[in-house]
Structures are given as C-alpha cells and as structure tokens.
Amino acid sequence: MQSNIFPGNTTITVRKSTANATPTTVKSFSVSEGQTVKIYADVTAMKADGSEIGGLDLYAMFYRQAAGDVTKQGYTDGLPVNKTAGTTIDVEFVANTVSQQIDVKVTGITATTVKWLINIKKEILS
C-alpha cells in the first residue's frame, strides 16, 4: 500500500438525513493561507419512502492567498448520475469567508425526509 505522500489529503463518508429544503452544512474543511484544495463528492440521496432517488458527482477547486479569504476557483454544478424526474435535491461547495472553510451543503425536499450518503475526497496542495 502506498503511503499518503500529500499530508492532509483525506477521504471521508458522511451519512445525514434532512427533513426540509433548507441548505444544511454536512461537512466543513479549513483552508490555510497559501493552500489550494480540490474537493470531490460522490453523492447518493433517497426519499425515506424510496419514491425518489438521486446521485451526483461534483468537484470544486478553492484557493486562499496569504492574509486573504478562501475563494472558489472552479467547479462543476453536479453531474447527475441518476435522478428521478422532478427530484430537487442539490449539493454545493461554498467558500465560507467568515471561518475560512469549504462548506459542503445539501438541500433536501420541503417537508420530506431525505437520506444522504456522501463520499468526500479532499486533496491539498500547499
């Protein structure tokens, strides 16, 4: 097995349920000054009753200058892997300039429980 030659690179799995269409932060990653960070997410979502499903693959690049704020440099809106017609689920990466973090946010469906499984990979270049 190859060792991690880039310290700080991680892969995590997040399981979450949402009950409404309010954007919800499910994970945040700090960005240090002078870092470039690429975030990938493989997302699976399902209404609790199984009547609607969705899958998205997305990624984004972020950079933080010395004494500056974290900024999003480029991104995909989410490549649908599979999505039931009419499903309004969404996932986004947000540059949080208050906490200097990348927030991973999900948006579910109004008055509906949605179960989420998100595999997130973070790559850092300093």
Q: What is the pLDDT of residues 56-92, one digit of tens each?
A: 889 999 999 999 999 999 887 666 665 655 667 888 9
* Structural domains present in the chain: 10-125 (2.60.40.1680)
User: What does the block give as tokens for 23?
Assistant: 């954007």
**CA angle in degrees (0–180, nearest 5) for 114-92-88:** 45
**CA angle in degrees (0–180, nearest 5) for 60-105-123:** 35
Task: Let me know: does 78 contact 91? Beta carbons within 8 Å.
Answer: yes
pTM, whole model, 2 decimals? 0.85
Alpha carbons 114 and 71: distance in angstroms, whole number: 29
Q: What is the pLDDT of residues 24-35, one digit of tens each?
A: 999 999 999 999
> Residue 56: which of 70, 68, 48, 45 has the closest Cα?
45
